[in-house]
Structure 1
């Protein structure tokens, strides 16, 4: 079975760090939901239609009206889905919203807390206040949502280790099943990047962000959270099944403006323009482009994605898929990192060692074929 991703690009305001496609054209939300349903019906035949997981991401899916969410879910067969996730902004999780949510097949919620400091939230141009997160979690629990994830960020300009530990304290107090943590990055074409170029902000030092990262790993691990992917931690049974499908190379269908898909041999991506996307779907035209992946690209994808996880690269599967030469190439490229204790190698597995997590991007890059 495949995963289904539905992109909801609407945002009431744009965060300074965000490089994802989003729009404030809320006047087109009803037409957009209609287009999503049309695209799904048109493309579902490329998959078996029995979704392993369903994920509504964005943007901000929680900004859709109740009837729009209802119409969308009525078109999605969630009967086989083990996990149905919706991303929410904490301030959208009102009493009315959770009542509406209880009528939907959603069993997991992912919220962008980012930080529990109101000044840093304002810096990010987030809409919510720090206190909104705990209130949102409580309301979701009352609505029967037993699987909640929160996102955190670290490495803010001027942030101290004590500030970061306070954020970890607040996240742990929520008693959630899953925590994702990302270092603040300065992507081109974002307001944050422009602020950096103008000298208005300075990046946190590598020494500090390393200490923040490993401090998080130590604290969460001590409390029973499994560090199962570079940026993700879960309690037992709380892994994100949808995202895990990406890392293990499972096929997935992405619908909506800017959504991406993968069918095992091809990458496909939808147009990143809401009006053009809607018009194309309404006219029955193809709203996506695609590329067939070469053997080298498929090998690189497998190495890159698997090495991000705690399980690492299954060398037996790598050999079955790409041949013994590919395994030899991978191990030869990995040798210096194994010797320096950044990678661990046993008979059938190559995985990141503790000291390799922070420099995983460098290691992965060196193991890929150019």
Structure 2
């Protein structure tokens, strides 16, 4: 299809949640959690626990995490997380049954915690929050250095169905370029331990666009990962964000008008993406989103009736978010190490977790945008009837200009006689350009006004 639309940079913004956390602000009214959750459905909640510690910080990382932990800090953090769990469970009340449909530990690196501390984290989830970890999909993130046999044994015994290992590259020169010190032998040893632990689903994260990466070296990383027959592989484009190690080095990926170097980098990343996608598809993997590929014969992780577009989420920990139908809330957010340490210290000193302190209200317009984004950016697409049943309108009525532009670019198609809006293969490839046009003016303004720290 020929398009008259101006070229769009393919790597603008990774939309894993909407509104973005940089649009959150302090909540002046500090609403009580009991009021925030009053009347909210709670029969299919998602549970997330955030562990903001890593043994090293990669050059590309802008997640909320700190390097290492002084003596006793992880224990104090779990103490605070336990206080928060008690406050949240009390706020949910007993008027309606509370049921969790899935669970995840993320970070940071949850397996930074020692085995006994991981056991305690599982106990908090089960005994205080009421999450049946052995009965729901339960995912945990890990790094090669922290995927030790004793930690993996805890996770296997407590019912973890998925272990996601951040490898990023099997090429040591690329790891150094990404400021990610690791040896391939250590990565392979960690993968062996994970397979020995017999967790049902292994995911391996890989990154394309690293300085010095070529088609040949990218294929070597892909094939090294595939040798372990992972049930899932995530392919991430490298982003260089402010205040990260690579950002401070002045690497490619600036904002504003794209210089020639950035445009060339865009072309390289798109080429690597297509090479990785086509290679995985040829080997029996199914594409679930721009980033996620799942082996066609991978085992199901168990029942999962959680719908990210409509169901609520409970997040514990100072880097976690919680979602209701009308409010998204969390704690403060930063990237720079001094600021991150200060927020963690404030969290561990908090005694009263009964109120939401930082977040953003979600009105009807924002709910429409969120529902569309959370659906459209998945390979399965957006069922129009679900949207109409929820909002009384159609996506075309609410977002005619944005959707028409996607069609003009050849990125969006109507399928099943108009019952589904689905991104084309090129639309999926440009997912990080598809999402931002649907951000509301208010969210755009708040993100632009966010103070980098």
What TM-score do the two structures reach when normalised by structure 2?
A: 0.74
Query: Which 5+ residue runs of structure 1 have no aligned equivalent?
Result: none
Contact 1:86 / 1:108 at 8 angstroms: preserved in 2? Answer: yes
Higher relative contact order (CA 8 A, sep 6+): 2
1:46, distance to aligned residue in structure 2 (A) = 5.0
C-alpha distance in 2 between matches for 1:60 and 1:350: 36
Alignment size in residue pairs: 367
Secondary structure at the aligned position of 2:125 is classed as coil
Q: 1:10 aligns with which of 48, 53, 68?
A: 53
What's the RMSD between the two structures over aligned residues?
2.6
Of residues 120, 127, 132 in structure 2, which corresponds to 1:79? 132
Aligned pairs (5 A) from 1:1-370: 1-23=44-66, 24-27=68-71, 28-46=73-91, 48-77=97-126, 78-79=131-132, 81-196=135-250, 205-236=265-296, 237=298, 247-272=308-333, 273-280=343-350, 282-283=351-352, 286=355, 288-324=357-393, 326-346=395-415, 347-367=418-438, 370=441
Structure 2 Cα separation of the partners of residues 205 and 65 of structure 1: 40
**Residues of 2 paired with 1:322 and 1:53: CA distance?**
26
Q: In 2, Cα distance between the equivalents of 1:159 and 1:270? A: 37
Task: Answer whether contact 2:177 2:210 (CA < 8 A) is retained.
Answer: no
User: C-alpha displacement at 1:352, in angstroms?
Assistant: 0.5
Give the distance between the partners of 1:62 and 1:220, measured in 2 at CA.
28
**Per-residue deviation at 1:302?**
1.2
Contact 2:53 2:110 (C-alpha < 8 Å) held by counterparts: yes
1:330–1:322 distance in 2 versus 1, CA, 3 Å: same
Deviations 1:107-141 (A, max 9, x none): 21111010001122223333432222332222222
- The answer to whether the 8 Å contact 1:255/1:270 transfers is no
3-state DSSP class of the match of 2:58? Answer: coil
Bigger drift between 244-253 and 127-136 goes to: 244-253
Query: What is the rounded CA distance, in whole Å, between the counterparts of 2:304 and 2:291 in structure 1?
Result: 12
CA gap of 1:182–1:103, structure 2 versus 1, over 3 A, is: same
Contact 1:56 1:87 in 2 (8 A): yes
Unmatched tracts of structure 2, length 5 or more: 1-43, 254-260, 334-342, 442-453
TM-score when normalising by structure 1: 0.90
1:79 match: secondary structure: coil
Residues 101-110 or 235-244, more deviating: 235-244
Tell me how far 1:361 sits from its aligned partner. 2.9
